[in-house]
């Protein structure tokens, strides 16, 4: 009881000493909050102001209700609780004046969400405002409904929003289209109510209406199969006309961005075309020509143009496009790879990976450029390019591509060597055309980056050598030379030590020489010295068997 009394007394003292009042301007409150030097001072200011607002709410102060709500919204944005002002939003919305309604709807979108039960009380006010004679009040209601609409509100107010899609005012139509998107997302069953209006609105000239309606059509396609089929029949011609008009239009300051007319509308239309054309040959055939026009006419020296080109390529790859159009799209990505912007190169590599499933041959033509990206300074581009090169490898190009990767292995960064080594080993194992080539590549990798070679890889190499008697002499001599040149690579040392221990006689006596080899002179002492040096360096990794392995090697060489 003492605690409750103390709180009441403190609140009364705060109220009596409060320099603010319900008539204090929002600007003054913000200035006082920003002048606070500590968090405690800020909380004190907010607490006093909230007490004043509560008092005004209790007194039903109508003159300053909108000002108090503006203050509450600022306090809410600072993270303080403002639930006590929710009903004030409803009172402001029910007012007749535009300024009060504007603050009320703004407070509604900030202080409430669709999970609040009190939101159901505003449905009637919204319905009245959607039928208001003032277009600005109608716009306020549409904006609020588009932000906080629940499934129940969507079912109740969908007819009013659908009617507003047919009004004359372009701003109202634009907001109605955006509000319809929210309704369709909340209640997909209502999609059929909007598909006719959406298709007819594609004939509009106002770009704001067009971009909103195109987005509405995209949502309708996602929500309903019936709407998708309907729009395939009734909207493709309109989309082609929109894209042709914006592509061929002259300079328009209102929509111009870096010399490109409304790239946002370009991109929205291209995405909708991709949705409509996916899996539909007839629809794809209708849009092929306009896609080719956009791909050839759009400038690629500006970011806005590159964004359109990228979406155009995505659309071409996503629909049933002709082979010539796909080649054109992949050539655009090839040009992107030569761009100085890292982001453009990265998205091009991503898109080329998707294009591999559509037209591998066209991507192969850009193999040289992709290989250059493997050597890029940006680590993200290097990794993505390496993944793409891995996809490009086949039986016909495995040798030149592997050679390029192995050559780069020597000069690549240490951070990149692990990924590069793993890819090379995987390529060699998957596409090895003969055992000798496989051994040569693996010996190079072991020599350059043996520390990054996984255990299962060098285990497989040992198994192959043991199962290929005709190559055992070549293997032991090659590994001995590699060990002499680079004894710091752990996996190389492991394989070389095993191989010399097993086939030391072939090393010393040059047994099973191949035509590509030159004879080398290795004495028993040389072989033992090489092993001894390696075993001393890596004795920790060979538990308990160092002496035995050394004796076995000496005996093998002696035999």
Alpha-carbon distances, residue 379 vs 54, 251, 342, 382, 415 (angstroms)? 57, 40, 10, 5, 9
Residue 24 confidence (pLDDT): 65
CB-neighbour burial class of residue 364 (10 A; exposed 0-12, middle 13-18, buried 19+):
middle
* Residue at a domain's end among 199, 234, 269: 234
Tokens representing 490 are 């752990």
Q: How far apart are CA 127 and CA 193, in angstroms?
A: 18
Residue 483 belongs to a domain: yes
Domain boundary among 204, 234, 264: 234
Dump pLDDT digits (tens) for 31-89.
989 999 999 999 999 999 899 888 888 888 777 788 888 888 899 988 898 888 888 88
Q: DSSP characters for 248-276?
A: H----TTTEETTEE-HHHHHHHHHHHHHH
Looking at per-residue confidence, does 60 or 277 come out higher?
Answer: 277
Asked if 18 and 51 count as a contact pair (C-beta separation under 8 A), the reply is yes
Beta bridge partners of 260: 257
DSSP H stretches of helix in 78-150: 86-94, 98-111, 123-130, 135-148
Of 455, 389, 461, nearest to 420 by C-alpha is 389
> Looking at residue 130, which CATH number applies to its domain?
1.25.10.10
Least confident of 159-173, 293-307, 512-526: 512-526
State yes or no: pLDDT of 424 exceeds 80.
yes
Q: Tell me what the mean pLDDT of segment 269-279 comes to.
A: 93
Distance between CA atoms of residues 455 and 491, nearest Å: 8
Residues 6+ apart with CB under 8 A from 559: 505
Residues 418 and 550 grouped into a single domain: yes
Q: How buried is residue 443: exposed, middle or buried, by Cβ count under 10 Å (0-12/13-18/19+)?
A: buried
Q: Using only C-alpha atoms, what is the Rg of the chain?
A: 37
Residue 413 within a domain = yes
Model pLDDT, residue 539: 57
Same domain? 57 vs 187: no
Q: What is the dihedral of CA 434, 440, 446, 448, to 10 degrees?
A: -130
Residue 163 pLDDT grade (very low, low, confident, very high; cuts 50, 70, 90): very high
Question: Pick from 207, 234, 261: which residue ends a domain?
Answer: 234
Reported pTM:
0.77
In this prediction, residues 416-433 reach a mean pLDDT of 89
Instruction: Check whether residue 141 and residue 13 sit in a common domain.
Output: no
Note whether 92 and 191 are same-domain residues: no
Q: Is residue 554 part of a domain?
A: yes
CB 359 within 8 A of CB 371: no
Is the distance from CB of 139 to CB of 171 less than 8 angstroms? yes
CA dist., res. 312 & res. 125, Å (int): 44
CA–CA dist 231, 460 (Å, integer):
57
Asked, for residue 290, whether it belongs to a domain, the answer is no
DSSP-assigned letters across all residues of 123-137:
HHHHHHHHT-S-HHH
Q: Are 427 and 550 in a shared domain?
A: yes
Establish if 488 belongs to a structural domain: yes
Question: Contact at 8 Å (CB) between 105 and 93?
Answer: yes
The whole-number average pLDDT for the span 448-473 is: 90
Same domain assignment for residues 16 and 70 = yes
How buried is residue 460: exposed, middle or buried, by Cβ count under 10 Å (0-12/13-18/19+)?
middle
Is the pLDDT at 447 greater than 80, yes or no? yes
Clarify whether residues 552 and 407 are in a common domain: yes
Q: Do 106 and 212 belong together in one domain? A: no
pLDDT tens-place string over residues 109-130 = 888 776 777 777 788 889 999 9
Q: CA-CA-CA-CA torsion for 196, 199, 204, 206, nearest 10 degrees?
A: 100
Same domain, yes or no: 555 and 410: yes
> Could you tell me if 119 and 221 lie in one domain?
yes
Tell me, what DSSP letter sits at residue 314? Answer: H
Average per-residue pLDDT for the chain: 85
Range in 409-418, 423-432, 513-522 with the lowest mean pLDDT: 513-522
Whether residue 255 is contained in a domain is answered as no
Which of these, 388, 330, 400, lies nearest to 361 by C-alpha position?
Answer: 330
* Residue 300 DSSP symbol: S
DSSP H or E stretch at residue 347: helix 342-355
**In the Cβ-directed half-sphere of 473, how many Cα atoms lie within 13 Å?**
17
Q: What is the pLDDT of residue 409?
A: 86
- Count Cα atoms within 13 angstroms, Cβ side, for 420: 29
| 287 within domain boundaries | no
SS (H, E, C) 509-553: HCCCCCCCCCCCCCCHHHHHHHHHHHHHHCHHHCCCCHHHHHHHH
Structure tokens at 415: 């951070």
Residue 162 domain boundaries: 113-234
Could you tell me if residue 246 is inside a domain? no
> Which residues, including other chains, have CB under 8 Å from residue 348's CB and lie 6 or more apart?
333, 334, 336, 337, 339
Number of domains in the chain: 3
Q: Cα separation of 470 and 461, whole Å?
A: 15
Whether residue 196 sits in one domain with residue 80: no
pLDDT tens digits, residue range 192-235? 999 999 999 999 999 999 999 999 999 999 999 999 999 999 99
Query: What is the rounded CA–CA span in Å between residue 269 and residue 300?
Result: 19
Same domain, 145 and 191: yes
Please give the pLDDT value at position 160: 94
Predicted pLDDT at 301:
84
């Amino acid at each position: 009881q003492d605690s409750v009394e103390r709180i009441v007394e403190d609140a009364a003292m705060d109220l009596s000493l409060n320099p603010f009042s319900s008539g204090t301007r929002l600007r003054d409150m913000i200035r006082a909050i920003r002048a606070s030097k500590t968090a405690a001072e800020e909380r004190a200011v907010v607490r006093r102001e909230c007490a004043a607002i509560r008092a005004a709410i209790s007194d039903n102060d109508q003159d300053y209700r909108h000002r108090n709500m503006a203050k509450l919204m600022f306090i809410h944005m600072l993270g303080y609780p403002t639930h006590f002002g929710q009903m004030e939003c409803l009172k402001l919305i029910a007012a007749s004046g535009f300024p009060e309604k504007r603050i009320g709807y703004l407070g509604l979108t900030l202080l409430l969400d669709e999970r609040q039960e009190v939101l159901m009380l505003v449905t009637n006010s919204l319905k009245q405002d959607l039928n208001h004679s003032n277009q600005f009040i109608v716009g306020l209601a549409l904006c609020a409904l588009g932000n906080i609409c629940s499934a129940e509100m969507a079912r109740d107010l969908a007819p009013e929003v659908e009617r507003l899609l047919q009004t004359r005012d372009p701003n109202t139509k634009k907001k109605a289209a955006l509000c319809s998107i929210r309704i369709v997302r909340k209640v997909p069953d209502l999609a059929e109510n909007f598909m006719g209006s959406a298709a007819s609105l594609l004939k509009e000239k106002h770009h704001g209406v067009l971009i909103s309606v195109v987005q509405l059509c995209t949502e309708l396609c996602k929500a309903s199969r019936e709407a998708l089929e309907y729009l395939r029949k009734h909207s493709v011609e309109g989309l082609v006309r929109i894209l042709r008009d914006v592509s061929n239009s002259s300079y328009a300051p209102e929509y111009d961005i870096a010399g490109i007319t409304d790239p946002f509308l370009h991109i929205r239309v291209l995405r909708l075309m991709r949705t409509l054309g996916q899996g539909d040959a007839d629809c794809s055939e209708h849009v092929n020509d306009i896609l080719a026009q956009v791909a050839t006419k759009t400038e690629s020296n500006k970011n806005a143009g590159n964004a359109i080109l990228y979406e155009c390529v995505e659309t071409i790859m996503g629909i049933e496009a002709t082979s010539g159009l796909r080649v054109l799209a992949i050539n655009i990505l090839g040009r992107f790879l030569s761009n100085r912007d890292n982001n453009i190169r990265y998205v091009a590599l991503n898109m080329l990976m998707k294009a591999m499933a559509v037209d591998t041959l066209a991507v192969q033509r850009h193999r040289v450029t992709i290989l250059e990206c493997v050597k890029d300074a940006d680590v993200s581009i290097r990794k993505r390019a390496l993944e793409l090169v891995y996809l490009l490898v086949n039986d016909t190009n495995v040798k030149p591509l592997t050679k390029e990767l192995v050559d780069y292995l020597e000069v690549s960064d240490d951070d990149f060597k692990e990924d590069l080594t793993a890819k090379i080993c995987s390529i060699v194992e998957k596409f090895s055309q003969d055992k000798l080539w496989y051994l040569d590549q693996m010996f190079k990798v072991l020599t350059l980056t043996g520390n990054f070679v996984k255990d299962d890889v060098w285990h497989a190499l040992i198994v192959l050598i043991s199962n290929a008697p005709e190559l055992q002499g070549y293997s032991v001599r090659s590994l001995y030379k590699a060990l002499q040149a680079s004894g710091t690579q752990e996996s190389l040392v492991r394989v070389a030590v095993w191989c010399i221990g097993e086939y030391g006689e072939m090393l010393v006596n040059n047994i099973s020489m191949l035509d590509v080899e030159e004879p080398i002179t290795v004495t028993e002492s040389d072989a033992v010295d090489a092993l001894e040096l390696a075993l001393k360096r890596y004795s920790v990794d060979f538990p308990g068997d160092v002496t035995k392995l050394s004796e076995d090697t000496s005996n093998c060489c002696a035999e």
